[in-house]
Amino acid sequence: MSSLSTRLLISVSLLLLFFFSVTIVVLDIAFRKAGEQAQQDILDGQLMSLLAAAEPDIYGELQIPPDLPEPRFSSVDSGLYGELRDDSGEPVWKSQSALGLNLPYGERPASGQHRFSRLALDDGTPLMALSLSVEWELANGQLKPYTFSVAESLDSFNAQLARFRGQLFGWFAAVAMIMLFSISLVMRGLLRPLRQIEKEISEVEEGKRGTLSDIFPAELQGVARNLNLLIGSERARSERYRNTLDNLAHSLKTPLAAILSVVSEQPRNDGNAKIEEQVQRMNDIVRYQLRKPATYVSDTLGIAPVTVDAELGRLVDGLRKVYRDKQPDIRLDIGPEVRFRGDMGDFMEIAGNLLDNACKWCRKIVQLKIRGADPAGSLYMTVSDDGPGIPEEAASQLMRRGVRLDESAPGHGIGLAVVKEIVASYKGNVKIGRSALGGTEISVSIGPGSHATVKPH
């Protein structure tokens, strides 16, 4: 039900079902009433033919001749039955078609009145009956009451009604399917601009397009215009931040260079080397930290996904040189076509800190595994080692800036905190657990599915 097309089709289907159901019921009632009226007219005509054929006999009693214009009265089980009763209710005449049958015509109607009724034979066959009571004037001028009755089977009428209902349902079902198919085609065309604007927004996110086009209908032009204004505003703000911070970084660069120059002029010793190392690290941290706000403000707007294989290869080569005394076995397991939608510096900061920690604490093996879950840009990374591991109670503390598990080891205690901050800016999360290698496993999830993590095989 998340699709607008599905919602519209379901709504239209329900409306069609309701209105077609009402129409079918109305037509069925109208057809049945018209059929019943036609049946009554036929019975009335048959009754009039009996009245016209009736003649008194030599004894003055009313009789019906055996040869009638309607041959069905003379055919057994023809479905058309007739009867003539006197004032006592005894049959004076009964059609040959009614031989062996007892038709309950009911009470005698008032003189000169018609009475329609529904009957049923012993086998359940439905009948429609018509009775007419008359005062017949005999030859001696005396008036004698008689009741003429006719009945006809409704099997043929009910079969015709069933055929009509079947055709009605069939035709309406065909019309409904044609209408739904036509409506789906119309909606597909009407919703094409929405799909187009969705596609263009995705292209803007991927950096393939600068702004949305202006080819949309009037109802969507305001949306496209406001989105373009928002995109332009965010880019302009990001550019202002970037320029300002670049200027600040350039301003800090000179004092740091001066410090390095002063240190380099001093006699070479371990203290000066450490100061030079820390100043250089300070220079790198300041440059990176000053670049981050511009990235955060844009929220990856217009940033195309970047490949990570080559950069990771260079990072691993550098770590092998740094830890050449330990000679760690760094294993890379990168999924096919893995892309990172964001700043490459952010990715390298995440991977570099995690791999550096793993190399520092491992005994021999470090494993990096990266998977891309979907085209939306989700990325799952795990870094495992075979070192002593991190106690569960200390895992959350290590995410805090400046906290270190072993104060005697080199470092500043900000690596994992930096990783957590960067991952949080991409709406992801970081988890610390036990590795299948025996040491620590740090899992990073970035993107739409940031609640998931990659499990080691």
Q: Domain with 337 in it: what CATH number?
A: 3.30.565.10
pLDDT tens by residue, 246-283 = 677 667 767 777 777 777 777 777 667 767 766 766 66
- C-beta of residue 62 within 8 angstroms of C-beta of residue 147: no
> Which among 137, 160, 183 is the end of a domain?
160
Q: What is the pLDDT of residue 368?
A: 93
* pLDDT of 130 higher than 70: yes
- C-beta of residue 83 within 8 angstroms of C-beta of residue 152: no
Rounded to whole angstroms, the Cα distance separating 446 from 288 reads 20
- Whole-angstrom CA distances from 361 to 197, 309, 396, 419 are 50, 24, 18, 17
Q: What is the pLDDT of residue 25?
A: 92
Q: What is the pLDDT of residue 31?
A: 92
* pLDDT of 297 higher than 50: no
Name every residue whose Cβ is closer than 8 Å to that of residue 147 and which is 6 or more positions away in sequence: 84, 85, 86, 89, 105, 108, 109, 131, 132, 133, 134
For residues 292 and 310, state if they share a domain: no
For residues 272 and 415, state if they share a domain: no
Most confidently predicted of 65-69, 128-132, 422-426: 128-132
Which residues are bridge partners to 381 per DSSP? 370, 444
For residues 381 and 239, state if they share a domain: no
Q: What are phi and psi of 438, to 5 degrees?
A: 110, -15
For residues 320 and 293, state if they share a domain: no
> Which among 261, 282, 298 is the end of a domain?
298
DSSP output for 57-123 = -TTS-EE--S--SSGGGGSTT-SEEEEEE-TTS-EEEE-GGGTT------SPPPBT-EEEEEEE-TT
Using 50, 70 and 90 to split pLDDT, how confident is the model at 107? Answer: confident
**Domain contains 170:** no
Report how many domains make up the chain.
3
For residues 325 and 273, state if they share a domain: no
Question: Among 125-129, 153-157, 194-198, 370-374, which is the least confidently predicted range?
Answer: 370-374
**Domain contains 320:** yes
For residues 323 and 420, state if they share a domain: yes
Residue 256: give the domain boundaries: 218-298
* pLDDT of 399 higher than 70: no
Most confidently predicted of 67-81, 199-213, 374-388: 67-81
pLDDT tens by residue, 143-170 = 888 899 999 999 888 999 999 999 999 9
- The 3-class SS string of 219-287 reads HHHHHHHHHHHHHHHHHHHHHHHHHHHHHHHHHHHHHHHHHHHHHHHCCCCHHHHHHHHHHHHHHHHHH
For residues 38 and 106, state if they share a domain: yes
For residues 336 and 311, state if they share a domain: yes
Using 50, 70 and 90 to split pLDDT, how confident is the model at 408? Answer: very low
**Domain contains 183:** no
For residues 437 and 326, state if they share a domain: yes
For residues 316 and 388, state if they share a domain: yes
Which is higher by pLDDT, 285 or 379? 379
Using 50, 70 and 90 to split pLDDT, how confident is the model at 407? Answer: very low
Query: Which of 322, 414, 319 has its CA nearest to residue 366?
Result: 319
For residues 289 and 338, state if they share a domain: no
DSSP at 454: P
Which residues are bridge partners to 62 per DSSP? 56
Q: What is the pLDDT of residue 448?
A: 59
> Which among 132, 160, 188 is the end of a domain?
160
Using 50, 70 and 90 to split pLDDT, how confident is the model at 364? Answer: very high
Exposure of 120 in the CB half-sphere (CA atoms within 13 A): 4
Burial profile 84-99: b = 16 or more Cβ within 10 angstroms, e = fewer? bbbeeeeebbbbebbe
Averaged pLDDT score across all residues of the chain: 80
